[in-house]
Amino acid sequence: MAKGLNKFARSQLVVPLLALFLLIVYNLIRDIGFFSISIITNNDGDTVLSGNLISIINGASELAILAIGMTLVTASSRGQDISVGAAAAIAGSIFVNVLRGNQITITTILFAFLASCIVAILFGVFNGTLVAAFKIQPMIATLILFSAGRSIAYWINGGATPTVSSPLLEAIGGFIPGIPIPTPILIMILFGVLIWLVLKFTNLGLYTQAVGINEKSARLNGINAAWIKLLSFMILGVCVAIAGCVNVCRIGLINHESLLIDIEMDAILAVAIGGNSLGGGKFSLAGSVIGAFIIQALTITLYAMKVPSTAVKAYKAIVIIAIVVISSPIVKEYALKLRDKLFKKPAKITENSPESFSDGV
């Protein structure tokens, strides 16, 4: 038990979990009912769950999905993809345009999603090829699509912001009749489980980490490093397509200028807050997902505190600096030392009998 606790104390999830915990405690002190969940009947007459907790998790869905993909890209290629927002705008545009050309049924929605998925994966292949084959720094390689992506979306939409509406799409962006939990949360959970299964039943995790830590030696052990990097960008492509389509369903239209704007920075931030090194190598998807929740919880908290929306980013920055500094190795080391000092006092007494001391450790 003590050993397990010790292991947990060193785990990278400590700081993000603690931050999330503090955020929750702070909100509870501010307003004891902040996280209360009520059952209401919405405009469509469905009985659904409502409350700040639900909005936080619901609002973080796209970010959490993107953060998962971003974690894999970071781990394998030791860099970040800054084009996810722009690529999501493209994926969303494809989704809307396929739907507008057809009658909206479950089949056409699936077909439209598949189309946007393929396009997003192709853009992932584009980024991945630049990174894996041409050895371009990920941030530079993805800068291309970052700049061009929203313009491409503009062309696809013919310069307009086409709308789509159908009860089916509302079900995806909102609630499925009869199920009180927002659908984006379900999609996020489904995707999380899927990735978890992939990591469990393949060597994706091991290979990705090996490539991220030491590419040369991974190759000498028969791992195709370029392919692993490309694969991580393709998986991120899938994440982008899901996030883009879910967001379109939420709003009911595609606005290439504002769809998931700045989400790439939040996604990278979620990875970092989750205790993952942006220099690649070892990773924790759970950390990144918690990171996404922290960012969203922070945003909602600030809105609840009536902070003007333009000022929200500055407040967010302050909290994030704190989290990132606290989880830095220097502070961690210091905290561990402090803990040893505070809790290992009895050891001092046995100083004269080193044998028993070392046994105790």
Which of 48, 218, 254, 271 contacts other proteins by CB under 8 A?
218
Within 8 A by CB and 6+ apart from 152, the residues are: 86, 90
Least gap, CB of 357 to other proteins (angstroms) = 6
The label of the residue with tokens 């807050």 reads 273
**How far, in Å, CA of 243 to CA of 191, rounded?**
11
Single out the residue of 75, 133, 69, 141 nearest to residue 279, CA to CA: 75
Which of 204, 271, 272, 319 contacts other proteins by CB under 8 A?
204
**Residue range at the interface with other proteins (CB under 8 A); choices 116-124, 147-155, 196-204, 288-296:** 196-204
Task: Tell me: does residue 346 bind other proteins (CB under 8 A).
Answer: no
Which of 147, 217, 258, 328 contacts other proteins by CB under 8 A?
217
**Residue range at the interface with other proteins (CB under 8 A); choices 25-33, 116-124, 205-213, 263-271:** 205-213
**How far, in Å, CA of 286 to CA of 298, rounded?**
18
Q: Half-sphere exposure (CA, 13 Å, Cβ side) for 199?
A: 19
Nearer Cβ to other proteins (221/310): 221
Q: What six digits make up the tokens of 91?
A: 């994926």
Nearer Cβ to other proteins (118/213): 213
Task: Tell me: does residue 220 bind other proteins (CB under 8 A).
Answer: yes
Which of 35, 154, 303, 357 contacts other proteins by CB under 8 A?
357
Which of 151, 203, 258, 328 contacts other proteins by CB under 8 A?
203
**Residue range at the interface with other proteins (CB under 8 A); choices 119-127, 150-158, 206-214, 290-298:** 206-214
**Residue range at the interface with other proteins (CB under 8 A); choices 16-24, 202-210, 292-300, 303-311:** 202-210
**Residue range at the interface with other proteins (CB under 8 A); choices 27-35, 125-133, 194-202, 243-251:** 194-202
Task: Tell me: does residue 356 bind other proteins (CB under 8 A).
Answer: no
* CB 156 within 8 Å of CB 248: no
* CB 95 within 8 Å of CB 248: yes
Single out the residue of 179, 167, 169, 176 nearest to residue 39, CA to CA: 179
What are the backbone angles phi and psi of residue 68, rounded to the nearest 5°?
Answer: -60, -50
Query: Which pairs count as long-range contacts for 204-209, CB under 8 Å and 24+ apart, including other chains?
Result: 204/72, 204/231, 208/72, 208/75, 208/76, 208/232, 208/283, 209/75, 209/281, 209/282, 209/283
Task: Tell me: does residue 234 bind other proteins (CB under 8 A).
Answer: no
* CB 106 within 8 Å of CB 313: no
Task: Tell me: does residue 206 bind other proteins (CB under 8 A).
Answer: yes
Least gap, CB of 22 to other proteins (angstroms) = 29
Per-residue contact string for residues 252-291; x = within reach of other proteins by CB under 8 A: -----------------------------xx---------
Least gap, CB of 287 to other proteins (angstroms) = 15
Q: How far is CA 293 from CA 16, 18, 109, 286, 307, in A?
A: 10, 13, 28, 11, 19
Least gap, CB of 354 to other proteins (angstroms) = 4
Catalog residues that contact other proteins under the rule CB under 8 A.
200-204, 206-207, 209-210, 213-214, 216-224, 281-282, 351-352, 354-355, 357-358, 361
